Amino acid sequence: MPKPFLLIKIVLIANLLLVSSFSVANSVDNQRADDIFASIDSGIAINDHAQYLLYLDELDSLVADSDTNRQLRKNRARCWSFDIFKEGEVTKALDFVEHALTHPLLSQYPSHKLDLALCQSWYTEQNGNVDLALKGYDKAVSDAYALEDLRLVADARSMRGYLHSYQGNFTYALEDLMTAQSLYENLNLPAWAQLNLYEIANAYRRFGDQKSAIRYFKRLEKDKRKSNHLDAANTISVSIAIAEEELGNFEVAKSRFEKSYQYWRAKGDDMGQATVGVNIAGTLIQLGELDQAKRYLDLAKPFIASNDEGFYGFMHLFYGQIYLAQGQLEQAHENLHLAQTAFIRVKNMSGLAQQLKLESSVFVKQADWQNAYESLNEYVKQHNELDTKLLSTYTTEMRTRFNADQIEQENLHLMENQQLKEIELAMLEQNKLQQWIIILLGGLITIIISVFAYKQSQKNKQLSTLALTDDLTQLPNRRYIYAKAEIYLEQALKHQSPLSAITFDADYFKQINDNFGHEVGDECLKLLANTCRAVLGSQYQAARVGGEEFLILLPNTDKDAAFEIAQNLVHQVRMANLSKFPQGFSITISAGVASLSNDPEELHTLLKRADDALYRAKHEGRNQARMG
């Protein structure tokens, strides 16, 4: 063998041995770090915060400074570790995340960046700036869908759902929380699914369905006690007590509150005692035990800070009730003002309504009839607005349950795409550890990776298309058409051009499924989709948005032309060839049409007018189109 070639071979073998030993050393630390990350992702922080902090300290010694991906992942985990119940910790958390978001390589890791932004919004909420937090949650939900990162979609919607629920926006709360619940269950994250289910139960409690709330709470409490997570079990027991109080079962509520209070007292948890103390005071007031209620509030007061608006607001609301009953009216006014400030800051409409009603009673005691009337009038306004939100919530809950299968299917498509991305990232991570080998192998590896990347890119494009397509009809789905509608609306408003929409669905579709079976029902939906394609051609966009409901967008089309298209569509369905369907089968549709008005309007108002027209077509006999 020629000596130069022998020398090259020796150098090559030495380099491979060096890389191999380096990789083995790093591999052990990296595997341990990844195991810790998996434990954190599974929800260790929910049930064992002390262990969570120990894990973070261990990660500091495991993750190399040069390992950008794991360093950023560690920053994500550290961001969620601050104890919001300790004074000054929220400020520290906001300082930490603000610094973490300046990492020069963060833009190369969009999921890490988004999770830090979500963390920042959460601490912003804890700091009392709920409007800014809600904007952050809205952006996080949108960005998470764009990244198709299902875990972040679930987290962002769960946090936003909690805030909506607390503010009394139950319509949005249930949509967010139910979607998050489906994702957590599909991602096999039971700890997070339980936490989210707790918020769903709270949402039911807040909008008045106490029995459903108690059913969910008791199931969660049983699971927590069975797994020996007693802190969580006692927190849930307090929620059950609040629901029992709402049902008028004050003695049952008092018993649960007292047991929880003693539990936190035995643990030496002042904050736990204080929060339960505020709750039990409300129950004792209902039972007429005012002195005992005030004793609990006095013990809680040193630990309830003004930036914890929920407990702070209700603590002063209960003080106001006690002082009113005792005739100390000026003191009652002072406490009710503090409660009002807290409720307004976090937009807690329910608490604000109670405060206004109580304040009116204080003014009545003082014979200040003008202020009494004004407070009572404001209370009526708040109460009516709450009633409107509750009615909307019941409608949303039914619609969300009706579309559960579609939501599940869309989530599964996104999960498949994410799994492919995770596989690709794992392969790239392993390739980084073998950089010297890749350099030595040269062009051959480059070609193989290029071919793989091309195929993977094509596959991702296909999966992205599938995620925006309804499987049954091969029409675009609701997610796609709503995004398209926003674009069309923006263009129409900018250029002052017409824009119309048609919504239609099959008449008596439930009877078709009941009489002929779901397979025939599926073929019926395909018939409607094919009829849409035949009538619309390539000029307009149609989509299946749920069940037997379809939406058509008609840019640059005025209301007269849109109505003519809708009538043609109704006619074509009525005259469709049904030879392949069972004997006795028939199908018609009802359609609603709406066009942009002269005044600027938002997408949801345009679609609502089309829906209203559809319902009118149904009411007036079906098998027809109506203009909204």
> In a 3-state reduction of DSSP, which class is residue 595?
strand
Q: Are strands 541-546 and 549-555 parallel, antiparallel or unpaired?
A: antiparallel
d(CA 379, CA 356): 5
CB atoms under 10 Å from CB of 68, counted, come to 17
Amino acid at 141: V
Contact criterion met (CB below 8 Å) for 603 and 492: no
Integer-rounded Cα Rg, in Å, for the chain is: 30
Bridge partner residues of 550 (DSSP): 504, 544
What is the number of alpha carbons within 13 Å of residue 207 lying toward its C-beta? 29
Give the CA distances from residue 600 to residues 162, 484, 528, 562, in Å, rounded to whole numbers and listed in that order.
32, 18, 32, 19
Do 76 and 93 touch, CB atoms closer than 8 A? no
Residues 6+ apart with CB under 8 A from 121: 132, 133, 135, 136, 137, 140, 159
Give the largest CA-CA distance in the chain.
Answer: 112
What string of DSSP letters covers 144-209? HHHHT-HHHHHHHHHHHHHHHHHHT-HHHHHHHHHHHHHHHHHTT-HHHHHHHHHHHHHHHHHTT-
User: What residues have CB less than 8 Å from 202, skipping those under 6 apart?
Assistant: 162, 165, 213, 239
d(CA 340, CA 335): 9
**Residue 458, exposed/middle/buried by CB under 10 A (0-12, 13-18, 19+)?**
exposed
**Positive/negative CA dihedral, 485, 487, 490, 493:** negative
**Catalytic position from the list 244, 397, 410, 548:** 548
CA proximity to 483, closest of 497, 456, 498, 464: 464
Asked if residue 282 lies in contact with residue 292, where contact means CB atoms within 8 angstroms, the answer is: no
Q: Is the dihedral of CA 336, 341, 344, 348 positive or negative?
A: negative
Q: Which of 79, 98, 125 is nearest to 307 (CA)?
A: 125
| Residue 548 annotated among the catalytic residues of the structure | yes
Could you give the strand order of the β-sheet that contains 589-595, starting from the edge strand earlier in sequence?
Answer: 541-546, 549-555, 499-506, 589-595, 625-627
| Residue/partner pairs of 55-58 with CB below 8 Å, 24 or more apart | 56/81, 58/32
Catalytic positions are 548
